[in-house]
Amino acid sequence: MSGHSKWSTIKHKKGAQDARRGRIFTKLIREIMVAARLGGGDPEANPRLRAAIAAAKAQNMPKDNIERAIKKGTGELEGTAYEEVTYEGYGPGGVAVLVEAMTDNRQRTVADLRYLFGKRGGNLGEPGSVAWMFEKKGLIVVSKDAVDEDALMEAAIEAGAEDIQDQGGEWEIHTTPETFGEVKEALDRAGIPCLSAEISMVPKTTVEVAEEKKALQVLQLMEALEDHDDVQHVYANFDIPEEILEKAQ
């Protein structure tokens, strides 16, 4: 399994999503605000907003929070103006790392991220250095214990999923960003619980990190970046052996 879904699954198993629900809500609200500002407040006419709302609902965000975020984005309510910035770099072992941030102070954010990369054996790169290694997809991860394969296939494919991949203990469902919301809703209607559901930058190729010290450094870097207030999403193309991942959990 490649880095994007492994990292999502690790966070879930560690209980990080529950422990940091306030921070997750903050990130989701920023995404809804920016999506509404750029494409309008009607999710039917704004695919990015529709996907952001689906991601928020997947985290059980209250409807009132979603509606306020939309109104802040469209200017109906006062809110902070955030700027979208993407940063690229390399972690230990040559792992490509893509960081999506929303900030009201670019200088602060880039300085913080450069420090976090350097402290954990990586380095911040130039624009375009790793982005070409990723493509935007809807990504839904479902535990094999939670659903029969045929039932999952029927619900996901009929709703527009592009692909379903066997990743050991989980099923990984890929969609286009535009069909992400429909597929997630179809799984909900079928009573299929998801370990994670998000619009993700999926790596086209992966880098194996089999040395334990470097592998743990990669995971520490990912966690440090995720914890930064300005960071929305972190993606990487690492492939770490399961026995090392078990130690990290």
One digit per residue, the tens of pLDDT, for the chain of length 249 reads 455 556 655 655 554 554 566 778 888 999 999 999 999 999 999 988 998 898 888 888 999 999 999 999 998 988 778 889 999 999 999 999 999 999 989 999 999 999 999 999 999 999 999 999 999 989 898 989 988 889 999 999 999 999 998 888 889 999 998 899 899 999 999 999 888 888 888 898 899 998 989 999 999 999 899 889 899 889 999 988 888 877 766
> What pLDDT is stored for residue 59 in this prediction?
81
> Domain 133-203 in CATH: superfamily?
YebC, transcriptional regulation domain (3.30.70.980)
- CATH 1.10.10.200 location in the chain: 13-74
Find where tokens 């407040």 sit: 41
Find where tokens 């300005």 sit: 230
> What pLDDT is stored for residue 246 in this prediction?
75
Contact 109, 230 (CB under 8 A): yes
Distances (CA, A) of 207 to 8, 51, 110, 121, 240: 17, 29, 25, 16, 8
Q: Which amino acid is at 108?
A: R
Structure tokens belonging to residue 77 = 């309510």
d(CA 186, CA 2): 25
Count CA within 13 A, CB hemisphere, residue 141.
23
Contact 63, 29 (CB under 8 A): no
> What pLDDT is stored for residue 1 in this prediction?
41
* Options 3.30.70.980, 1.25.40.10, 3.40.50.800, 3.90.550.10; CATH of 83-132+205-248: 3.30.70.980
* Options 3.40.50.720, 3.40.50.1820, 3.10.20.740, 1.10.10.200; CATH of 13-74: 1.10.10.200
Q: Which residues pair with 86 in a beta bridge?
A: 100
- CATH 3.30.70.980 location in the chain: 83-132+205-248, 133-203
> What pLDDT is stored for residue 45 in this prediction?
92
d(CA 233, CA 138): 13
Q: What spatial distance separates the first Cα and last Cα of the chain, rounded to whole Å?
A: 16
d(CA 156, CA 175): 9
